[in-house]
Amino acid sequence: MADRLSLMREFGRFLRFLLSELRPRGRMLTPFNLISVPVIVAAAAILVVRFTRGLGAVTNLSQEVPWGLWIGFDVVTGVAFAGGAYVITFAVYVMRMEKYRPIVRATVLNGLLAYIFYAGALALDLGRPWNIINPIIGNKFGFSSVLFLVSWHFMLYMLAEFIEFSPAVAEWLGWKRVRRVLHAFTLTAVILGITLSTLHQSGLGALYLMAKPKIHPLWYTEFIPILFFVSSIFAGLSMIILEGTLSHRVFATQINHKRHGSFEEIILGLGKGAAIAMFVYYFFHALVFVHDHRWQLITDLWGVWYLVEILGFVLVPCVLFAYGVRNRSVSIVRTAAILALIGIIMNRLNISVIAFNWNSAAHYYPSWQEIVVTLMVIFSEIWVFRWIVLRMPVMREAHELPSRPTESRPSELTASA
Amino acid sequence: MNRRHFMKTLGVAGASLAGGAARAAEQAATPEFFGVLVDTTRCIGCRSCELACAEEAGLPLPDIENDGALAEERDTSESCWTLVNRYQTSQGDVFVKRQCMHCWQPACVAACLTRAMYKTATGPVIWRSPQCMGCRFCMVSCPFDVPKFEYDEWNPKIQKCNLCWQRLEQDRKPACVESCPTDALMFGRKRDLMEIARTRIYNHPERYVHKIYGEYEVGGTGWLYLAAVPFEELGFRTDLGTTPYPEFTRDFLYGVPLVLFGLPALLYGLHELSEPQGREPAGEE
């Protein structure tokens, strides 16, 4: 009896804790909120139309262009950007590079949320999302489909990332014993996660292998899967550099001073990794180019566009990364990261949208509704990220209390949710 | 192949050597797909096939007498599984019927992650509604851009020719073939159709280009075409190659189990190797 009473009291305390955590903190009228809230509301309205009147009512998709911005950007590009999680967990948990431990949780959280939101955006694009369960159950296994592989890997990877992040949740809730158990699974989850990432990052590229007659020959190669995998390494690293820089300003109250010092070293280390991965990527591209005798393909506008991508947004950031690391300049590394990310967006959109059906009369431009929904996906991910960072020990240590966001406010950007 | 079938095949093979019997058994086991031979030199562009198809499939009926649809090149759509196009060529007007090619090794079937796209034992490539999740990967993969999607439905379907597979099960010909008044369409096993097509070219070498479209294209298709002018002039893509499209992803898919089991071992090995010497392994963070 007494047991049950104390249990109920404990549960009541837990509920009150959850409710108090759900309450927004800090100022509501930040520039980010002012922009993101109307976008999210508008997107919700668009999605109502999309689910009642069909995809054609809000998108510019057609019989010739069945995949547009929602797949090409939200899923294919978004997942490449989320590659940082498997690279960093590889460095910290497999190779034991302690230097990067301070950024592990934020990176894994980012990766997890990116998969939930960007891969989740896939469901918006499905004609019959209620059948999304079909590849997972019973007699409907399309083993010969690359998409079957990718969908299973998305699902398992989200699970692995959740396990990797779960100790932070347990710390937030104060569940010490649960945390110990969850922590014991970390290495297994990490190894599984890296393996799955290798396969589905390349798998996203393999999706386009059967679209051979539709993709411009400069972008089509049988090595698309390898190129996608290698580029996801530096896409992920660049994203961590960019996101880390922003977080550092926005969530300054969450990070103690000891860590501020090591932050520069971390950025330079990431830049070095990105430089190497980018060089390998550039080398692969050059190899394919020479091997396939593609000289005569670069004489028209498509050729120029291809060179802009490969030289301007692969070779240039690659050299900038190397130069920035050598001269210990964080700002040059940051510039390189931004260029590299633009290059990734260009590459993924070229294969999935721009150079897709290059020889057909049908051209695709995203509708404004498609763009609004894409922004909604990005903004809502940031909302959830912010909510979690301000409550769970992601950037701070578990025993450190966050300094009150209401008191010291270093900049207008300071987060509140 | 079940045992009875095997015994039957053995019986047929009769007195032949064991090796021969095995080969015969293998041959009997490979399905003999059905297809259709289109002789464009016989087609008069009456579009009876369009009407018959729409009736059979429950699609909007085209007004073939008055709609003037031959004026421009059209593509099949979510409400039209087959159609006839007119091409002005050196040999005068040529009419070409379009529909799903029913590939031997269809890209759409390989692409489908729920096995909604399915090639039946007799050859038709069909779409099974309850399984489809509407991802449209079949459309991305199809070299002929055949599967069409209902963009204006809340519960959209994929629409494409299914070679009247239900009629085939009742030993009836596809509706379009049955409706053709000039025998431009001929239904049968591909082996037989190839022989007929070759015979026609052999008997009238001046009437045909010496190529049967669909013999080798994308690994062979169920629909075969004969024509008097090069196929490029009739809106056919001749740059699709002879490789069955599922081959393009096969290497990747074969690599998956290797990585799935090999990489974790490698990663765990690296983890063990990276343990700092003479120190306790790094504990919890």
Domain ranges, ordered by start, for chain A: 30-389
* pLDDT reading at B102 higher than 50: yes
The band of B144, judged by pLDDT with boundaries at 50, 70 and 90, is very high
Pairing of strands B34-39, B185-189: antiparallel
pLDDT at residue number A244? 85
Region A157-167 average pLDDT: 93
The band of A399, judged by pLDDT with boundaries at 50, 70 and 90, is low
* pLDDT reading at A121 higher than 80: yes
| Residue B254 counted as domain residue | no
The string of pLDDT tens digits covering residues B20-55 is: 455 555 555 566 899 999 999 999 999 999 999 999
Whole-model pTM: value is 0.88
Domain that holds residue B130: 30-234
| Residue B112 counted as domain residue | yes
| Residue B7 counted as domain residue | no
pLDDT at residue number A208? 95
| Residue B206 counted as domain residue | yes
| Residue B265 counted as domain residue | no
| Residue B239 counted as domain residue | no
- What mean pLDDT, rounded, does chain A reach? 88
Q: Which of residues 57-116 of B touch A (CB under 8 A)?
A: 75, 77-78, 107, 109-115
Cβ density class A141-166: b for 16+ within 10 Å, e for less: bbebbbbbbbbbbbeebbebbbbbbb
Q: How many angstroms separate the CA atoms of A223 and A226, rounded?
A: 5
CB B108 within 8 A of CB B124: no
pLDDT at residue number B280? 54
With a pLDDT cut of 70, the percent of chain A lying above it is 92
| Residue B45 counted as domain residue | yes
Q: How many angstroms separate the CA atoms of B161 and A337, rounded?
A: 49
Region B175-194 average pLDDT: 95
* pLDDT reading at B10 higher than 60: no
Asked if A147's CB is within 8 angstroms of B263's CB, the reply is no
Q: Hey, of B252, B273, B284, which one would you mutate to test binding to chain A, going by the most A CBs within 10 A of its CB?
A: B252
Per the model's pLDDT, the better-predicted residue between B205 and A294 turns out to be B205
Class of A30-389 per CATH? mainly alpha
CATH number at residue B215: 3.30.70.20
Q: How many angstroms separate the CA atoms of A44 and A168, rounded?
A: 31
Region B52-80 average pLDDT: 92
Enter the tokens of residue B52.
Answer: 């018959």
pLDDT at residue number A413? 41
With a pLDDT cut of 90, the percent of chain B lying above it is 79
* pLDDT reading at B243 higher than 80: yes
The string of pLDDT tens digits covering residues A293-351 is: 888 888 899 999 999 999 999 999 999 999 999 999 999 999 999 999 999 999 999 99
Asked if A52's CB is within 8 angstroms of B110's CB, the reply is no
* pLDDT reading at A51 higher than 80: yes
pLDDT at residue number B9? 46
Q: Which residue has the tokens 């903190």?
A: A25
Write the ipTM.
Answer: 0.87
Q: How many angstroms separate the CA atoms of B132 and B158, rounded?
A: 8
Contact residues, chain A, for B276 at CB < 8 Å: 96
**Structural domains in chain B (count):** 1
Region A27-36 average pLDDT: 83
Per the model's pLDDT, the better-predicted residue between A44 and A141 turns out to be A44
Region A196-212 average pLDDT: 94
